[in-house]
């Protein structure tokens, strides 16, 4: 018997990007092109989308604080409701795309997938895709924190409108993106032209697939431009991790600094454990699990990554040092 579609988790792609970056163009293409797949699209700027499709749902971004004492624990109430409604359809779809308004913080959207049990049971957050306007990105950075945060949250970046800038300008924008978030995959596009396989079904939040991002962990270990307010910090160590001390440190860190830490992920070599320990978080929310086993004779090392605002790299490194076996 084939598994029922009801029990399968539908992948959800969050699409962010500053106003005019090319999100609507991308959504129009996803809805109108023949790719043999069916997507439900949750949009905020209704009417802008030229496609009349009953799988396009208009949403008011309703950001709700959870009444549980956790200050940065916010969810998108409209998303919980709409996902529940979409699951009542007879016709199933291959994925859901959630477009956020140009000025939205992607935090509450991502946190909804960590917090709400019904949403977690039916869907899984696949990746945060950020569309960046190559021509206006540097200017947008001056105007507020939104453009910077959207890049910081991203798993995949569509560097769009590359035809409107010179190679020098483009290199400058790429450098800036890498300084904020060197772990996102950048795809250069014109008019949001992209093979959808590149942005959909990435499994960026899948703990089982964190290992696939390992090459990035290694290659991006360079020093960053320290002028950035939002940047990433990676920490590595070959000494085994004391799980209790790590839990305590990470718990306190997220409690205290969770508002400023947008994304975090890591692979840990726990003292005496035969398998990797993997985790991944958005602000204060975190998912963790045991990953694949270490191979015989394999060098066991731990790698942590934080992307956030005002990260104190030395402090983070010292904190992690204290979690290691002497």
Partner 1 sequence: MKIDLANPAWRQTLPPARSIAADAPVAACAFNRDGTTVAFALGDGSVRRLPADITAAAPDAPPPVHGGVVLALVADPVGDGFVSGGDDGRLLRIGADGTATELFNQKGKWIEHLAAHRTTGAIAASVGKTAIVVTKAGEVREFGPHQSTVADLDFSKDGSRIACAHYGGVTVWSLGHITQGQAAPPPRRFAWRGSHVALRWSTDGKFIATGTQENDIHVWRMAQATDMRMQGYPAKVKSLSWTADARFLYTSSQPVFTAWPFSGKGPEGKPPLQFGEEGAGLLSVVAAHPTAEFVAGGYDSGELQLGDIKAKRSVVLKMADGSAITCLAWSPDGFGLAVGNERGDLLVVDLHR
Site for partner 1 in 267-286 (CB under 8 A): none
Q: Which is nearer to partner 1, 70 or 273 (CB)?
A: 70
Piece in contact with partner 1 (CB under 8 A), picked from 11-19, 58-66, 99-107, 191-199: 58-66
What is the Cα–Cα distance from 155 to 169, expressed in whole angstroms?
23
* For the chain, counts of helices (H) and of strands (E): 10, 14
Q: Which is nearer to partner 1, 51 or 218 (CB)?
A: 51
Site string for partner 1, 11-50 (x = CB under 8 A): -----------------------------------x----
Could you say which of 2, 34, 36, 117 contacts partner 1 (CB under 8 A)?
117
Question: In Å, what is the CA distance from 145 to each residue of 61, 72, 267, 275, 317?
Answer: 19, 17, 29, 39, 26
Does 87 help bind partner 1 (rule: CB under 8 A)?
yes
Could you say which of 2, 34, 36, 67 contacts partner 1 (CB under 8 A)?
67
What is the Cα–Cα distance from 172 to 166, expressed in whole angstroms?
10
Does 89 help bind partner 1 (rule: CB under 8 A)?
yes
Residue 7: CB minimum distance to partner 1, A? 8
Question: In Å, what is the CA distance from 113 to each residue of 64, 143, 305?
Answer: 14, 29, 21
Does 52 help bind partner 1 (rule: CB under 8 A)?
no
Nearest to residue 282, comparing CAs of 107, 74, 76, 66? 107
Could you say which of 8, 9, 38, 65 contacts partner 1 (CB under 8 A)?
65
267 and 291 Cβ atoms separated by less than 8 Å: yes
Does 66 help bind partner 1 (rule: CB under 8 A)?
yes
Residue 296 DSSP class: T
Site for partner 1 in 207-266 (CB under 8 A): none
Query: What stretch of H or E contains 107?
Result: helix 107-115
Alpha helices in 10-53 (DSSP H): 23-32
Chain residues in the site for partner 1 (CB under 8 A)? 4, 6-7, 46, 54, 57-58, 60, 62, 64-68, 75, 77-78, 80-81, 85, 87-91, 116-118
């Amino acid at each position: 018997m084939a598994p029922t579609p009801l029990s399968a988790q539908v992948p959800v792609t969050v699409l962010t990007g500053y106003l005019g970056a090319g999100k609507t163009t991308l959504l129009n293409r996803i809805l109108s092109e023949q790719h043999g797949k069916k997507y439900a699209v949750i949009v905020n700027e209704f009417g802008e989308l030229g496609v009349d499709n009953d799988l396009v749902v208009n949403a008011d971004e309703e950001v709700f604080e959870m009444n549980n004492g956790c200050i940065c624990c916010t969810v998108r109430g409209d998303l919980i409701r709409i996902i529940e409604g979409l699951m009542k359809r007879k016709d199933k779809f291959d994925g859901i795309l959630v477009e956020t308004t140009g000025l939205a913080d992607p935090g509450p959207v991502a946190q909804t997938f960590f917090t709400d049990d019904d949403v977690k049971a039916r869907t899984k957050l696949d990746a945060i895709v950020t569309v960046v306007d190559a021509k206006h990105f540097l200017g947008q950075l001056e105007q507020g924190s939104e453009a910077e945060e959207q890049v910081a949250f991203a798993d995949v970046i569509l560097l769009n409108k590359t035809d409107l800038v010179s190679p020098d300008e483009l290199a400058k924008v790429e450098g800036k993106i890498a300084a904020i978030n060197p772990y996102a995959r950048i795809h250069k596009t014109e008019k949001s032209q992209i093979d959808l396989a590149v942005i959909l079904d990435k499994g960026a939040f899948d703990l089982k697939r964190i290992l696939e991002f390992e090459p990035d962990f290694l290659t991006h270990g360079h020093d960053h431009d320290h002028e950035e307010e939002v940047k990433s910090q990676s920490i590595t160590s070959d000494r085994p991790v004391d799980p209790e001390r790590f839990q305590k440190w990470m718990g306190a860190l997220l409690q205290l600094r969770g508002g400023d830490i947008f994304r975090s992920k890591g692979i840990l070599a726990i003292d005496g454990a035969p398998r990797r320990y993997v985790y991944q978080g958005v602000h204060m929310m975190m998912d963790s699990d045991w990953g694949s086993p270490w191979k015989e004779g394999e060098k066991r090392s731990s790698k942590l990554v934080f992307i956030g605002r005002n990260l104190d790299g030395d402090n983070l490194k010292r904190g992690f040092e204290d979690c290691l076996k002497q």
